[in-house]
Structure 1
Amino acid sequence: MGRNRYKIYDEVYPYFITSSIVQGYPLFSRPPVARIILNSLSFLQERRQVTLFGYVIMENHLHVVALGEALSEKIRLFKSYTARESINWLRANGHTNILRFFRQNKQEYNTRSTYQIWQEGFHPKQIIGDDMMIQKLEYIHQNPVRRGYVDNPEDWRYSSARNYLESEALIPITCYRR
């Protein structure tokens, strides 16, 4: 496929975005790699002027609800940076088998890198209206519950569910209020 068929056309409304690791590899089950994602989400907010309304980092994918100008480009840069940092961490910690997996699963036309961490593109869905926003945030927060990892959304460490309960969260977000 090569190019992302899904585009962000309107910068007025937030988007529900999903990005997945190639072949569903559980890369984010390693806390240092999940921390790379969290730090990068914070950077998007602080330095790239992206408003983050919600997120969940699962073992092999992430969902975010975000708003910002040039959001497609910012997400592309986010994925590129987090891939490089994840590879650096894997190298530094001797995870040669995992690196081999990401090298073997790299798309042939991708000649600019040795490894491929993320699946090509991302899948943005424009959010229009309060009901859709609440549905997407609930979907995000219920993801680890549906998978059977936790009983309550706020028990999943890598999620914005705690932000909405105003309890201790890993990174700040902009909580959506009707």
Structure 2
Amino acid sequence: MQYRRADVKGGTYFFTVNLAQRHLRLLLNHVEILRAAVKTVKQRHPFHIDAFVVLPDHLHAIWTLPPDDADFSTRWMLIKSGFSRHITMNERRNASRISKGERGIWQRRYWEHLIRNENDFERHVDYIHYNPVKHGYIHQASEWPYSSIHRYIKAGVITNDWGCGVDSNDKSDYGER
């Protein structure tokens, strides 16, 4: 079966992008390189970042693309390659990656989900902001420095104590149904 990605011009998408070696902390160790890669791609291929969180070994994002554009794949390829070019090459690479001249930093594929309505959007934003708590890195979502939650708090959309008191095993309100 051939996998087909959603192709909606001007669509809003949720993404999960993982490192190939999930035990590494490359994304936090080099978060400024990641930010620069995203900024460079955004300048050349505009999109709006609705929500974003960076964890040690993966990231989640929600983007809205321009009305005449559905090409998020090129954007992710450019972000991943822009990041990789600035990281010292010492990762494991299998024969396939070596033969294709690929680095072994990122998983080749990523998860994408077309946001379907306002409720779907809100659930995925909540999932993004709660993810560092879910993984046990912090106790309160606002403690995580690499998250768009701070923009939502500053705008008054949520309070600084948002997500406190939620059982981290109860994911029903945080995008994992």
Which residue in 1 is equivalent to 2:28? 29
Query: Contact 1:11–1:67 (CA<8 Å) still a contact in 2?
Result: no
* Greater Cα shift, 107-116 or 142-151: 107-116
SS in structure 2 at match of 1:120: coil
Cα deviation digits, residues 34-74 of structure 1 (max 9, x gap): 11112222333333211110110000001110122211111
How many angstroms apart in 2 are the aligned matches of 1:6 and 1:34?
A: 31
Which residue in 2 is equivalent to 1:117? 105
How many angstroms apart in 2 are the aligned matches of 1:132 and 1:148?
A: 24
Once the two structures are superposed, the pairs formed by residues 1-150 of structure 1 within 5 Å of their partners are 5=3, 7-24=5-22, 25-30=24-29, 33-68=30-65, 69=69, 70-85=71-86, 87=87, 90=88, 99=90, 102=91, 104=92, 106-110=93-97, 111-113=99-101, 115-150=103-138
Shift of 1:114: 6.1
Aligned partner of 1:27: which letter? L
Query: Contact 2:21–2:105 (CA<8 Å) still a contact in 1?
Result: no
Query: Contact 1:6–1:122 (CA<8 Å) still a contact in 2?
Result: no
Query: Contact 2:17–2:110 (CA<8 Å) still a contact in 1?
Result: yes
How many angstroms apart in 2 are the aligned matches of 1:42 and 1:79?
A: 12
Cα deviation digits, residues 55-98 of structure 1 (max 9, x gap): 1000000111012221111111111111112x2xx36xxxxxxx
Aligned partner of 2:136: which letter? G
Give percent identity, aligned residues only. 23
SS in structure 2 at match of 1:165: helix
When the two structures are superposed, what TM-score results if normalisation uses the length of structure 2?
Answer: 0.76
Across the two proteins, how many residue pairs are aligned to each other?
Answer: 148
Aligned partner of 1:7: which letter? R
Would you tell me which structure has more helix in proportion to its own residues?
1
Shift of 1:158: 0.6
Residue segments in structure 2 that go unaligned for 5+ positions in a row: 156-177
Structure-2 change in CA distance of 1:114 and 1:14 (3 Å): closer
Aligned partner of 1:45: which letter? K
SS in structure 1 at match of 2:111: coil
Aligned partner of 2:25: which letter? P
How many angstroms apart in 2 are the aligned matches of 1:49 and 1:133?
A: 20
With CA pairs under 8 Å and 6+ residues apart, which has the higher RCO, 1 or 2?
A: 1
How many angstroms apart in 1 are the aligned matches of 2:40 and 2:50?
A: 14
